[in-house]
Amino acid sequence: MSGFVSTRGQVGFNDLKIPGAWSRKIGKDLYEVFIGPQHPGSGHMRIIIRIDGDVIVEADPDMGYVHRTMEKLGEGREWIKGIPLYERMAIHDACNVTLPYVRAVEQLLGIEAPLRAKYLRVLLCEINRIAAYLYGFGIFGVFVGHSTMYMWPFGDREVWIELADWLTGARLTHSYPVFGGVRRDVPADFTNQLRKAIRYMRKRLEEYRKIYVDNPVIRARLEDVGVIPKNLAIELGITGPNLRASGVLYDVRYNDPYEVYDELDFEIPVFQEGDALARVWQRVEEIKQSLRILEQVADWLDKHPREPILHDRFWKTAPPLHKKIFETEGRAKLVPLYALLKVPKGKAYARAETARGEITYYVESDGGQKPYRVRIVSASARNAIVFKYILPGHRVMDLPTIYGSIDYFPPEADR
């Protein structure tokens, strides 16, 4: 890596080609700046920029600093152990990132979760989505030097984490969906607290608008910065709110509805401008829609009595003690079969819309107790490339703005 020390051309830059960080001689008065991986403004990644004065000429996102060989680790573990493992890609979005894995295995097993379990999954997915967006807002706020916007979303995120904690028993690593259902039913009075949180968040979004999104100072920094044109967004294959903020209608919940998303009444906002401000608005609008989904899910859960939340294949072998605990505590105990589960030979593919975009799982089984292969393509991995194309031409001060508005999450990208 010594070739990266200087840009003055003493070392053979022409020859240096490392995947993700290849470099070349640029010329006189060009400086190469390494931002990250320890830089507070970059997360666990490095962005190599070459600057002429204050203007970025070239940018190279250099990822892989938090690679944990997750796909390989998954091959050495029983099926159910994959859930807590893959969850660690994005712990604050745990239900969304593990759901397609669960669904892919369910496809191979030929089972489907009961309706109530589907609603419960959607419930936690949307709670996670809101919490993850708020997390992104907080990071974005501190990037552009707005420390109020750092404190507020992190404080309000606690509301959603508290609810998720109450529902699942853990603040972040919920391990909530399992094959054929979910692990717990909603506690008594949960839906009332949820409704309060929804009403609170609606008010709060209006305050966010006033202090941050529509604040003239912030607007001046975000407007027309980091524009991703529609065709570039499609070409690069970026995904999630970033893609929708560029005017492309693509949301897995809409294009390939899973669980009960096709029965819920909500909107997919699509912003046209594609700049940093539009990306923030996109997320604000999506939080509003998530709140709408949660309201409907709360109503549904209130109207329908408690029924088994695990598929019959697992639930019918459950001893009376399990059933009693489910009746009294709402906790669906797992049958020992889960640890020894053999999944029929085959290949399955599933996807879901996480807070950062589409995540896809390709799962292959050779009929054994462990997966033969689990391939994951996460949303952040697809979004990372965008830095290379939209940073050039901007000033260095725009880098945190763009980075924050993309809501890039390195642990998810590196896996």
Partner 1 sequence: MVPPKPVPKTKPRRGIFHAFKGNLEALMIGVKYFIDPKRFTLIYPKEYNKLREGYRGFIVLIKQKCINCASCARICPAAAMKMIRIPEVDEKTGKQKVKNWPVIDYRRCIFCGYCVDVCPTEALYHVPYHDVVYQNMAEMYLDLESFQKPPEYKAAEEGIPVRYIVDEERGLVKVPYKEGEK
Residue ranges in 68-87 that form contacts with partner 1 under rule CB under 8 A: 77-78, 80-81, 83-85
- Contacting residue, 52, 71, 112, 165, with partner 1 by CB under 8 A: 165
Taking the C-alpha atoms of residue 140 and residue 119, their distance in angstroms, rounded to an integer, is 31
Nearer to partner 1, 36 or 138 (CB): 138
Number of residues near partner 1 (by CB under 8 A): 79
Token code pair at residue 91: 């712990």
Question: Counting beta carbons within 10 angstroms of the beta carbon of residue 232, is it exposed (0 to 12), middle (13 to 18) or buried (19 or more)?
Answer: middle
Q: CB 369 → partner 1: shortest distance, Å?
A: 10
Task: Tell me if 268 contacts partner 1 by CB under 8 A.
Answer: yes
Nearer to partner 1, 7 or 354 (CB): 354
Taking the C-alpha atoms of residue 151 and residue 300, their distance in angstroms, rounded to an integer, is 34
- Contacting residue, 263, 299, 312, 327, with partner 1 by CB under 8 A: 263
Task: Tell me if 57 contacts partner 1 by CB under 8 A.
Answer: no
Residue ranges in 203-232 that form contacts with partner 1 under rule CB under 8 A: 203-204, 207, 210-212, 214-217, 219, 223
Q: CB 382 → partner 1: shortest distance, Å?
A: 21
- Contacting residue, 111, 270, 385, 396, with partner 1 by CB under 8 A: 270
357-365 and 31-35 strand pairing: unpaired
- Contacting residue, 230, 340, 347, 367, with partner 1 by CB under 8 A: 340
**Segment contacting partner 1 by CB under 8 A, of 116-124, 152-160, 231-239, 356-364:** 152-160
Q: CB 46 → partner 1: shortest distance, Å?
A: 29
Taking the C-alpha atoms of residue 59 and residue 327, their distance in angstroms, rounded to an integer, is 57
Q: CB 21 → partner 1: shortest distance, Å?
A: 33
Taking the C-alpha atoms of residue 301 and residue 295, their distance in angstroms, rounded to an integer, is 10
Task: Tell me if 339 contacts partner 1 by CB under 8 A.
Answer: yes
Q: CB 88 → partner 1: shortest distance, Å?
A: 9
CA distances from 401 to 49, 52, 205 (A): 15, 19, 20
Of how many residues is the chain composed?
A: 415
Q: CB 224 → partner 1: shortest distance, Å?
A: 10
Taking the C-alpha atoms of residue 16 and residue 14, their distance in angstroms, rounded to an integer, is 6
Task: Tell me if 253 contacts partner 1 by CB under 8 A.
Answer: yes
Task: Tell me if 319 contacts partner 1 by CB under 8 A.
Answer: yes
Taking the C-alpha atoms of residue 25 and residue 113, their distance in angstroms, rounded to an integer, is 57
Q: CB 340 → partner 1: shortest distance, Å?
A: 7
Task: Tell me if 172 contacts partner 1 by CB under 8 A.
Answer: no
Taking the C-alpha atoms of residue 409 and residue 324, their distance in angstroms, rounded to an integer, is 42
Peptide bond just before 269 cis, omega within 30 deg: no
- Contacting residue, 10, 272, 320, 328, with partner 1 by CB under 8 A: 272
Task: Tell me if 163 contacts partner 1 by CB under 8 A.
Answer: yes
Taking the C-alpha atoms of residue 221 and residue 329, their distance in angstroms, rounded to an integer, is 51
Nearer to partner 1, 261 or 409 (CB): 261
Token code pair at residue 391: 């940073």
Nearer to partner 1, 1 or 321 (CB): 321
Question: Counting beta carbons within 10 angstroms of the beta carbon of residue 324, is it exposed (0 to 12), middle (13 to 18) or buried (19 or more)?
Answer: exposed
Task: Tell me if 184 contacts partner 1 by CB under 8 A.
Answer: yes
Of 341, 318, 344, the C-alpha closest to 81 is: 341
Q: CB 159 → partner 1: shortest distance, Å?
A: 5
Taking the CA atoms of residue 399, residue 401, residue 405 and residue 406 in that order, the dihedral angle to the nearest 10 degrees is 0
Taking the C-alpha atoms of residue 119 and residue 70, their distance in angstroms, rounded to an integer, is 29
Nearer to partner 1, 71 or 273 (CB): 273
- Contacting residue, 22, 145, 200, 344, with partner 1 by CB under 8 A: 200
Of 49, 45, 62, 42, the C-alpha closest to 7 is: 49
CA angle 77/382/147 to nearest 5° reads 100
Task: Tell me if 262 contacts partner 1 by CB under 8 A.
Answer: yes
Task: Tell me if 183 contacts partner 1 by CB under 8 A.
Answer: yes
Q: CB 213 → partner 1: shortest distance, Å?
A: 9
Residue ranges in 355-394 that form contacts with partner 1 under rule CB under 8 A: none
Task: Tell me if 315 contacts partner 1 by CB under 8 A.
Answer: no
Task: Tell me if 277 contacts partner 1 by CB under 8 A.
Answer: yes
